[in-house]
Structure 1
Amino acid sequence: MDLDTYFTYLRSWSAYQTARRRGFELLSDDLLADFERAWGGDRKVVKAVRYRIFLRIGKVRD
């Protein structure tokens, strides 16, 4: 996937959506810039994204 697709994927997570509704931006401009540098500077380059998943499952209270 390319970097923009990866960001779209991260923004689809319910934890991200909940934080946004509560006024928090988890993907700050600085963090996005760090990701872009780590990606190699070209957002359109397609890379395999793999990571271990550790889940904490539950419901966030309002």
Structure 2
Amino acid sequence: MDNKRIDAALRAAGDTRRVVIGADALSAVDSTFAQCFEQQAAVVVADEHTWAVAGRAVSELLRAAGRTAQ
């Protein structure tokens, strides 16, 4: 998917503000969240499959950064 399609999708989205794609995308979780939501609490939304793949890691990274994550 090219950046033009991603940018268009983000403009049309109601809640999604940013998409990070890459092999090391998890390392950007806290900085990306901070840029979009400042000090708000995080809610990680995932089903059992996405939780196992990345949701748990995202939740742990946010907590390790001192954020409240549910």
Could you tell me the TM-score, scaled by structure 1's length? 0.22
Query: Greater Rg, structure 1 or structure 2?
Result: 1
Could you tell me the TM-score, scaled by structure 2's length? 0.21
- Bigger relative contact order, structure 1 or 2 (CA pairs below 8 A, ≥6 apart): 1
Instruction: Kindly indicate which of the two structures has a greater share of residues assigned to helix.
Output: 2
